[in-house]
Copies of this chain bind each other. A is one copy, B any other.
Amino acid sequence: MKKQKVSDEKPGLVRRSVCPITNTLDILGDKWTLLVVRDMFLGKKTYGEFLASPEGIPTNILADRLKRLEQHGIIDKTPYQQSPVRYAYQLTSKGQQLSPVIKEIIKWGLENIQGTKAAMMDRNK
């Protein structure tokens, strides 16, 4: 029932439990993070492309989530041009391994929430 500090790791990190679900939720458990990951599976790469998604993520939230995903090694950021510098984000292998999670969430949503559509998950659309 006690929250434990992780002995060897990053100072400041408080682990709620050793449960893999709990620890995954501490990284991905909110309304926006997985939508950014979804967009990257759909081939989107830039800040502007993420902003353009239909859900309308606020700019400050997007910046924060990109930073956190990067810190957790789920995505990485590289400049794809200089003058002016522009960045491309992409999934690391850790991020790509989220594919089965995303897939099962899509499946559950389509089967259990009326009005959801698979169409938008089509990459060439």
Q: Give the size of the chain A interface in residues (CB under 8 angstroms).
A: 55
A59 CB, nearest partner CB in chain B, Å: 14
- Decide yes or no whether A62 CB sits under 8 A from chain B: no
- Docked-complex contact B108 and A19, CB < 8 angstroms: no
CB 8 Å contact bits of A57-75 with B (1 = contact, 0 = none): 0000000000000000000
CB proximity of A17 to chain B, nearest CB, Å: 4
Contacts of A102 in B (CB 8 A): 21
Out of B21, B27, B113, which one reaches A20, CB within 8 Å? B113
**When the two chains form their complex, are residues A23 and B116 in contact, meaning their CB atoms are under 8 A apart?**
yes
**Residue A88, interface by CB 8 Å:** no
